[in-house]
Structure 1
Amino acid sequence: MQKNNYFSFLINLLYSFLKLSLVVLGLMSLVRLYIFVAYSNTFSYDVAETLAAFWLGVRLDASIVAYINAGAILLVFIVWLLNLKFLHKYLYTFFRVYFLFFLTVLTLITLMDLVYLSYFGEHATLMIFGVFDDDTQALINTAFANYNVPLFAFLLLVYFAFLSFLVFNIIKEKQALKPSWNIYKQLGFFLLLIVLTALLGRGSVSMFPLAYNIQDVSANPFINRLPQTSAYAIINSYEQYSKSKSGNYDLIKKVGYNGKIDRAFEVYMQTQEINRSDLLGNLNHKTQPNKLLQEKQPHVVVVMVESFGMPLLDYQSESFNILGRLNKHFKEDTLFTNFISASNGTIVSLEPVLLNIAARPESTSFAQSEYINTSFRQASAKVYKNAGYETTFVYGGDLSWRNIGSFALKQGFDSVAGKGTIANALGENIADISHDWGVFDGYLYKYIEQKLQNASKPQLIFVLTTNNHPPYKIPADYKSNRLEVSDDLRAHITSDISLIEQRFKDYAYAVDMAGEFLDKIKGSALAKNTVVAFTADNNTIEGNMRYENHFTQTKKVPFYLYLPEYLKPKSAINTSLASSHKDIFPTLYNLTLSDANYTCVGTNLLDESVLHCGFNDAGVIMSNDGGFEMGKATTPSQQKCQEYYKASLAVTEYLIQSHK
């Protein structure tokens, strides 16, 4: 084969790459269109902003496709440069397999991201890799219960057959182009093609690649997330996960306080008058002496309910009785209404509460890191233990989950109880009272009530429930309340209506069981000496709904308090304060303990003289002016909370590192 003819052969091979790339870009844009239609969080959009988001998305998609093409183009260039004509008959077959492999990987990555998006309402974060640390069997059961896995597998096979057909019919030998170029033009063509591919992969000629920091195109957070490409989301998530797992995690530097930690403490303390010789001493507090509490120490029960988000409660009515028996308690007692979760995942919301700190963004759980055997000085249960309490951590599932049982024992809990302990104490068969993730919540509360009734000393009981979690199973003998989905609610739902109705039933069951537990506590002698607090790990239903005010609503969870009469403050509690999980125990200490020392990165919500802000590690901040995204503060109050958040993270990390 002559050099010019061979160049024509290679040009046509490269042309087939281009045609396949355009088809792939079209498919990737269809995925983005699906996300836009299925998960849009409002009813009207600015057309220019939406088009800009789609165009930015195409550029990011093109970057991924360019990286896939880069290896193929370099191989073709080497074949041309070394005049490897003997490879002629193998090239088309090789590149069919090459592209089929990489496009299959791209498809699987996209599916992973879409599943995550359907649950959490955002593209993949490092939490997606937590699946390897989770209860694998329960996850498999969840998948089979919530999705038609056989149908999905069949459709996937059909898709891969279509993909194979596409690749094999586009990457095939045709002589569509016959350029007659000399050797120098041919070399120039290849060099130009390599440069253009590199630029397309980089996506930008500015200092940073396009994917380094995806720019905002709108004030609407959903539109800003629309351009993200699944491949980049998964790659970024894996980098964050690996960095966090390896211990190569520098949060102080990330939030801008590297080499100036004193300044972080000044911002956190809201004063320049800090203890510079003992920075951690600035985090020490003491509750007021209280003779009543000295004479009568109350039991304290703190319950973290799985996925109990607040926004759904806006639709509470007789025909949509989602709150059930908890409704009257929310009306009678104290409910903080501008309270947000520390994180979007269970373990990363739970641990900051147990450790009295702010949740650290882009980090793995302490119980699955180098800190697994660390007993943290500031752990919340230790304060009660030092005050003479018996402290118990209760989880409705297996205590091996995320190493939570062994970790809790190192954080001031005298004992831990999982589903086996609960079933045994109640005289029940585990299988009869359990779903895939643990015991049904009703049995969990029976165990707590039994433990309180039999207590001989004051109790601190921290509880983590397991209902209201996929695959959404409730006891067969439980009769659900009316849950008729109104037109208004239906208009705000973005996921499959049959699955969301199943989820509503599990949500309503979990909440109703919390209400039943309070009925029993308040209807017994325990009402006079028991404090009960309810919160939730996250509002994961956010992935299935659209909101009018996204950042103000999306992370809201309850912080509810039942207080016996003798513990109620004389002045009214301001329940509209911006707050989050970090504030739970500092508030409880000041309500239930006399003259007790504690260390925390959080605030007492009874003290209105200090700055109150809520933090979620996804970069959502709650201020008295509403919720907003990190870096998007628009009012003085929001700007103050934004700086306070960064300082709190630096202070938290400084405290954590002091245990090394």
Structure 2
Amino acid sequence: MKQIFLRVVSWHNFYAFMWRQIRVYLFFLAMLCLFRLFFIAWMHEYISPAADWDDIGTALWVGLKISCKSAGWLTLFSLSGSTLANVFAPRRETVVCKLLNGVSIIILSILYVARFPYYKQFHSSFNLLMFNTFNDDVYALGISLVKEFYLPIRLAGAFLLAFLLYRLFSQWLACRLLQLKFAFPLSKWFGRAAFLVLLYFGVTLANFGGSLSWATEVDWENAGVTKDSFLNEAILDDVQAVLRGYTMNSRLEACNGLNFDTGQIRSLAAQLTYKEATADNLDEYLQKKAQGPQVAKPQQIFIIISESYANWPLLEKYNDLHIADGMKGIIAEDDSDYCSTFLPNGPSTVSAVTGIVTGFADANLYLTTMPEAFVSPYSTASAPQLKKLGYQTNFWYAGPATWERIGAFTTAQGYEHFYSRGDFANATEGSVWGCDDKYLYEAVLKGVSSDQPSFNVILNVSNHSPFTVDTAKEGFDKNIVIRALPDEAKKDEALVNQLGHYWYADKMLADFIHAAKAKYPESLFIVIGDHADRYNIDKIPSMYERYGIPFIVTGKSVKKGMLPQDAAGSQIDVVPTLLEMIAPKDFIYYSLGTSLTNGNKQGVNYGFWITHDYIGKADVSHFVPEPIGNAMPALNDTALQDYINAIRSISWWRPKYGPILDEDMAANRQ
């Protein structure tokens, strides 16, 4: 045991061992980058004419960064086995190292050869569909792979590639020229310190995807930074693509559904819509007729989903912070109205997107990964219904199209045009999540035509960690905020920076609305936050201040009082409110939510409910309402529970199983 300990802690043994692992890392990094380069060159016909050499360069650079992470994982696999061998069987350590890395090379070679036909078939790198294979007819699939995709030939090519790469790898490890030497002997502390510093930076780059911190790291969710979908897919090496597929498939498998049978759903749908519980088609319950326009039909419509735009800074008690002055000014204008009791659809941005795009609540389904969501738009989807009213439908996102499959998802749900970070000028000005709000709004103002009626959903990202906007340069005076903070928070620089980014999002939002009103006088705007619950001044904020978001409507013909004083709702109520404001009388539309203008007085989401007077947790046996104001009216627990159950059950059944309430069909599709 003593000899083993001395061998392990020996500096020269440690140096030789770790330098070998560094060379393993460099080999895999170079291999993944060369794979990417050849893939782009061989498949160049898939690159759109709009892409240029800058986009290719960006893809190669971002790909290099994300492959730092993949190479790190592959090296960790080798390192784990080699470490055990070095401790317990040192003479076999080299053999174990080559064996483990040989396995990695074989797997990578097979994946790489498969990438080419996979992309041609699905126009994507590996995704969750590869995991759906196990639910398919394996025999039929095997026959198809042999006859249509020449599986034996491709496998032979993959093993030949693996053999050549392994020979190259072995020579790389054995090359004497690669024995790192320091100017100072390794027995000196300087040489040892230098080696450890190099090792530290190498591990950091591998851990954070080619970056030195998580704030700038690249991963599969934010890697699609070019304006070309093929190049965005090429950025992902096969390790990252498989990880994406596994993660998205896991999210899908986590959608276990809710405990409602078809009879309960039918009864709840009837109660929700005040109809007879006789139909087996849910769409008959969701069908509605507009009561007639309440504003002049706008030429341009904008729904802005603002990142982390909580409602609490708009409250009077926080006036001295002056971080929401822009939208407070908008709300005070005669052509604006505001509902302060409103909930997000879920705890994350993707829930807000699905709520606005599909009209369904967050009900234990991950819609952006569900195959059903990509077949055709749901009856309650926003884009097709606005298109019927004569509007071109556009979705504008500050981040990459690959995030949560947002580009593919929104277009599958009927949006005619999708724009993302790669389409905008100055797109590099921003964080890892997307470009700064300023440049997103500039792109919208430049891209929306005054002559074409359009419905535009805008999703920004600047008010999201890592907080990278130079707010001082934009005009933020942090001293004003610090003076208004309680004493215990005045030195909290992180909080001040976060509040500065709320100020930036608010200012850019108000500036955009003013500019858009000037350019498009006949326009209508709806502003909501995607969620709250990110930061508060109070360490223990009230439930209302922690989770509430605003609902703000402004534009031509909007009047104060258009939204009833006791109105409340959630994001599934946004599009019905819009349709009731602009649609002609008897226009048929479909929605789960209810217009705030028609007296909707309650909202529900993944875990909470809200009315004008109370907020509370939804998943409890007995409601414990937390007062929002001073009024204390009685709460009808039974009616509220029925509403929550109706929203959740329909939002679970309709997207997954379709409109027909058929218990046998659901059982067969599990």
Please say whether Structure 1 and Structure 2 have the same fold, judged by a TM-score greater than 0.5.
Answer: yes
TM-score scaled to structure 1, two decimals?
A: 0.57
Aligned with 1:347: secondary structure?
A: helix
> Shift of the alpha carbon at 1:647?
1.6
For 1:586 and 1:653, the matched residues in 2 are separated by 19
Instruction: Give the counterpart letter for 1:603 in structure 2.
Output: T
Q: Pick closer, same or farther for the CA change 1:292–1:396 going to 2, 3 Å.
A: closer
Q: Deviations over 1:51-89 (max 9, x none)?
A: xxxxxxxxxxxxxxxxxxxxxxxxxxxxxxxxxxxxxxx
Q: Pick closer, same or farther for the CA change 1:641–1:487 going to 2, 3 Å.
A: farther
Corresponding position: 1:338 with 2:341: yes
Q: Deviations over 1:169-206 (max 9, x none)?
A: xxxxxxxxxxxxxxxxxxxxxxxxxxxxxxxxxxxxxx
For 1:650 and 1:532, the matched residues in 2 are separated by 31
Is the CA contact 1:539–1:557 (under 8 Å) kept in the aligned structure 2?
A: yes
> Shift of the alpha carbon at 1:434?
2.9
Q: How does 1:27-46 map to 2 (within 5 A)?
A: none
Gapped regions of structure 1 (runs ≥ 5): 1-89, 91-129, 131-135, 148-239, 424-428
Kindly report structure 1 stretches of 4+ aligned residues shifted beyond 6 Å. 136-142, 240-243, 315-318
Is the CA contact 1:633–1:639 (under 8 Å) kept in the aligned structure 2?
A: no
In structure 2, the residue matched to 1:455 is 450
> Shift of the alpha carbon at 1:548?
5.4
Is the CA contact 1:275–1:282 (under 8 Å) kept in the aligned structure 2?
A: no
In structure 2, the residue matched to 1:508 is 503
> Shift of the alpha carbon at 1:141?
6.4
In structure 1, the residue matched to 2:103 is none
Aligned with 2:616: secondary structure?
A: strand
User: Which has the higher mean CA deviation after the structures are superposed, 596-605 or 457-466?
Assistant: 596-605
User: Which has the higher mean CA deviation after the structures are superposed, 496-505 or 297-306?
Assistant: 496-505
In structure 2, the residue matched to 1:614 is 603
For 2:350 and 2:623, the matched residues in 1 are separated by 28
Q: Pick closer, same or farther for the CA change 1:485–1:145 going to 2, 3 Å.
A: same
Aligned with 2:315: secondary structure?
A: helix
Instruction: Give the counterpart letter for 1:450 in structure 2.
Output: K
Instruction: Give the counterpart letter for 2:270 in structure 1.
Output: E
Q: How does 1:25-174 map to 2 (within 5 A)?
A: 144-145=214-215
Instruction: Give the counterpart letter for 1:516 in structure 2.
Output: D
Corresponding position: 1:540 with 2:544: no
Aligned with 2:528: secondary structure?
A: strand
For 1:268 and 1:560, the matched residues in 2 are separated by 25
Q: Deviations over 1:504-560 (max 9, x none)?
A: 1111111110011122233x2523x1001110111132477445532x332111111
Aligned with 1:606: secondary structure?
A: helix
For 2:209 and 2:614, the matched residues in 1 are separated by 35
Q: Deviations over 1:108-160 (max 9, x none)?
A: xxxxxxxxxxxxxxxxxxxxxx9xxxxx999996954499xxxxxxxxxxxxx
In structure 2, the residue matched to 1:16 is none
For 2:492 and 2:538, the matched residues in 1 are separated by 11
User: Which has the higher mean CA deviation after the structures are superposed, 414-423 or 593-602?
Assistant: 593-602
Is the CA contact 1:315–1:489 (under 8 Å) kept in the aligned structure 2?
A: no
Q: Pick closer, same or farther for the CA change 1:577–1:319 going to 2, 3 Å.
A: closer
Aligned with 1:540: secondary structure?
A: coil
> Shift of the alpha carbon at 1:578?
1.9
Gapped regions of structure 2 (runs ≥ 5): 1-87, 89-127, 129-205, 218-246, 625-633, 659-668
Instruction: Give the counterpart letter for 1:586 in structure 2.
Output: P
Corresponding position: 1:582 with 2:584: no
Is the CA contact 1:257–1:263 (under 8 Å) kept in the aligned structure 2?
A: no
Corresponding position: 1:326 with 2:327: yes
In structure 1, the residue matched to 2:276 is 273
Q: How does 1:25-424 map to 2 (within 5 A)?
A: 144-145=214-215, 245-246=252-253, 249-251=256-258, 253=259, 256-257=260-261, 259-269=263-273, 271=274, 273-290=276-293, 296-314=297-315, 320-332=321-333, 333-361=336-364, 363-364=365-366, 366-375=367-376, 376-423=378-425
> Shift of the alpha carbon at 1:316?
6.9
Is the CA contact 2:293–2:580 (under 8 Å) kept in the aligned structure 1?
A: no
Q: Deviations over 1:557-588 (max 9, x none)?
A: 111101202x548x643144121101100000
Q: Pick closer, same or farther for the CA change 1:341–1:289 going to 2, 3 Å.
A: closer
Corresponding position: 1:558 with 2:550: yes
Aligned with 2:372: secondary structure?
A: coil
For 1:492 and 1:263, the matched residues in 2 are separated by 53
For 2:534 and 2:381, the matched residues in 1 are separated by 30
In structure 2, the residue matched to 1:441 is 437
Aligned with 2:435: secondary structure?
A: coil
Is the CA contact 1:337–1:575 (under 8 Å) kept in the aligned structure 2?
A: no
Aligned with 2:597: secondary structure?
A: coil
Instruction: Give the counterpart letter for 2:593 in structure 1.
Output: G
Q: Deviations over 1:195-246 (max 9, x none)?
A: xxxxxxxxxxxxxxxxxxxxxxxxxxxxxxxxxxxxxxxxxxxxx9987522
Which residue among 608, 613, 616 is the counterpart of 1:625?
613
Instruction: Give the counterpart letter for 1:541 in structure 2.
Output: R
Is the CA contact 2:302–2:524 (under 8 Å) kept in the aligned structure 1?
A: yes
Q: Pick closer, same or farther for the CA change 1:645–1:542 going to 2, 3 Å.
A: farther
Q: Pick closer, same or farther for the CA change 1:317–1:581 going to 2, 3 Å.
A: closer
Which residue among 491, 512, 520 is the counterpart of 1:526?
520
Corresponding position: 1:471 with 2:479: no
Instruction: Give the counterpart letter for 2:288 in structure 1.
Output: H
Q: Pick closer, same or farther for the CA change 1:573–1:291 going to 2, 3 Å.
A: closer
Instruction: Give the counterpart letter for 2:256 in structure 1.
Output: Y
CA RMSD of aligned residues (A): 3.4
> Shift of the alpha carbon at 1:319?
5.2
Aligned with 1:337: secondary structure?
A: strand
For 1:140 and 1:420, the matched residues in 2 are separated by 20
**Matched positions, count:** 412
User: Which has the higher mean CA deviation after the structures are superposed, 463-472 or 315-324?
Assistant: 315-324
Q: Deviations over 1:271-313 (max 9, x none)?
A: 46344243320101122455985xx543110000000111233
Which residue among 418, 427, 430 is the counterpart of 1:430?
427
In structure 2, the residue matched to 1:183 is none
> Shift of the alpha carbon at 1:498?
1.7
Is the CA contact 2:299–2:453 (under 8 Å) kept in the aligned structure 1?
A: yes
Aligned with 1:301: secondary structure?
A: strand
Identify the structure with bigger relative contact order (alpha carbons < 8 Å, sequence gap 6+). Answer: 1
Instruction: Give the counterpart letter for 1:430 in structure 2.
Output: A
In structure 1, the residue matched to 2:666 is none
Q: Pick closer, same or farther for the CA change 1:490–1:371 going to 2, 3 Å.
A: farther
For 1:315 and 1:143, the matched residues in 2 are separated by 38
Instruction: Give the counterpart letter for 2:609 in structure 1.
Output: I
For 1:499 and 1:355, the matched residues in 2 are separated by 36
Is the CA contact 1:341–1:616 (under 8 Å) kept in the aligned structure 2?
A: yes
Is the CA contact 1:320–1:482 (under 8 Å) kept in the aligned structure 2?
A: no
Instruction: Give the counterpart letter for 2:345 in structure 1.
Output: A
Corresponding position: 1:497 with 2:492: yes
Aligned with 2:321: secondary structure?
A: coil
Aligned with 1:636: secondary structure?
A: coil
> Shift of the alpha carbon at 1:421?
1.2
Aligned with 2:609: secondary structure?
A: strand
Instruction: Give the counterpart letter for 1:348 in structure 2.
Output: S
Is the CA contact 1:319–1:482 (under 8 Å) kept in the aligned structure 2?
A: no
In structure 2, the residue matched to 1:174 is none
Aligned with 1:601: secondary structure?
A: coil
Is the CA contact 2:301–2:525 (under 8 Å) kept in the aligned structure 1?
A: yes
Identity fraction in percent: 19
Is the CA contact 2:298–2:524 (under 8 Å) kept in the aligned structure 1?
A: no
Is the CA contact 2:380–2:592 (under 8 Å) kept in the aligned structure 1?
A: no
For 1:337 and 1:626, the matched residues in 2 are separated by 12
For 1:257 and 1:546, the matched residues in 2 are separated by 42
